[in-house]
Structure 1
Amino acid sequence: MAMWLSDTEKIGVGLTAFGLFFMLMGVMMFFDGGLLAIGNILFLAGVTMVIGPQKTMFFFARPQKIRGTICFFVGILLIFIKWPIIGILVELFGFINLFGDFFPVIVGFLRRLPIIGNILSAPGISKIVDRISGQRLPV
C-alpha cells in the first residue's frame, strides 16, 4: 500500500529542502548570516508542516533531548544576532543531538539509491559510513 503525502506535507518537504539548501549556501558563502537565517526559518517551517505543530513541539520538548533543543535554538539565535560562525557550530551540535537517531535510517535510504548506493557501498567508504551512522555489521 502506497503512502501519499497531503498538500501541506508536500509543501513542508519543499520548505525543508530549501531550508537545508539555504543553510548550505550560507556556509559556502563564508557564513553569510542572511542565508543561514532564511535557511533556519524555512527548515523549521518545513518540519512543522510535515509533522504538524503539536508533534513538532513534542519533538523539541522531549526531556532526553533538551540539551540538543537548547543548543539548536541558541545557535539560531546567535545567527540572528550576527554571530554566524559560532551560531552554526552550536546549532550543528544541537542538530546532531536532535536528529542523530535518524542517521542510520537516512544512510539505509541512500544505500538503496542507484548511484549513491554504489558509492556508499564501496569497500573503503562503507566502513566510514557505517561508523558515522552507528551501524554495526556482524562479523
Structure 2
Amino acid sequence: MRSRDEIGIGLFGFGFFFSFLGIILFFDRGLLALGNIFCLLGVALLLGWQSTWRLFTNKNNYKGSVSFLLGLFLIFVRWPIAGIIIEIFGCVNLFSVFWPSIKIFIFQVPVLGWILQYPFMLLDHLTKRG
C-alpha cells in the first residue's frame, strides 16, 4: 500500500469520526464541516485528483455532486440538519457505483461481516426448510 493511500484512508476515517461526533453532539457545525473536508480529501487521495474530479463532474453524477456540495454549503451557513440530510442523499447518489464493492469488503470484516450477514443467512436457512 502506498503512503498516499494510507493517508487517504486515515483522512477518510478522521472525517467519518468527526462527522459522527458532530452528529452526536447535536449537529455541531464545526465538527461536521471538518469531517466533510477530511472525507473529501481522503477520497481525493484514495482515488487520485483526476479521478475525483471526473467522479464529481460526470454527467451521470450531477445530481449527487450538486446535492453533496449544497449540503456542505448548508452546513457552513448554519443549517446543519438540512445539510446532513441533503449530503447523505448526495453521497448515496454519488457513490452508488461503489456499493457492491463496499458490501463485499464489509462482509469480509471479521466480526462486523458476520453480524451483518447473519440476518441474510437466517432468512436463507428458513426459506430452505419451508
Q: TM-score, normalised by structure 1?
A: 0.82
Q: Determine which structure has the larger helix proportion and give its number.
A: 2
**Residues of 1 paired with 2:104 and 2:122: CA distance?**
11
How many angstroms apart in 2 are the aligned matches of 1:114 and 1:81? Answer: 41
AA matched with 2:62: I
Deviation at 1:10, TM superposition (A): 1.1
Task: Give the Å deviation of 1:69.
Answer: 0.3
CA displacement 1:18-54 (0-9 Å, x = unmatched): 0011111111111110100000111111111112211
CA RMSD of aligned residues (A): 1.6
Asked whether 1:101 is paired with 2:97, we answer: yes
Whether 1:52 aligns to 2:48 is yes
Report the identity percentage.
42
Hey, what does 1:131 align to over in structure 2? none
CA distance in structure 2 between the aligned counterparts of 1:125 and 1:90, rounded to whole angstroms:
33
**Partner deviation per Cα, 1:61-110 (whole Å, 9 max, x = no partner):** 01011011000001001101111001111111101101122222222112
Alpha-carbon distance between aligned partners in 2 of 1:48 and 1:117, rounded to the nearest angstrom: 27
Moved over 4 A (4+): 124-127
What is the 5 A alignment of 1:55-94? 55-94=51-90
Paired residue type of 2:84: I
Structure-1 separation of matches of 2:121 and 2:75: 33
Match of residue 136 from structure 1: none
* Structure 2 residues without counterparts, runs of 5 or longer: 124-130
Deviation at 1:120, TM superposition (A): 1.6
Give the structure-2-normalised TM-score. 0.87
- 2:36 aligned partner, one-letter code: N
Q: For residue 55 of structure 1, report the CA deviation from its aligned partner.
A: 1.1
Find the aligned partners of 1:124 and 1:54 in 2 and give their Cα distance: 38
1:115 aligns with 2:111: yes
Q: Secondary structure at the match of 1:122?
A: helix
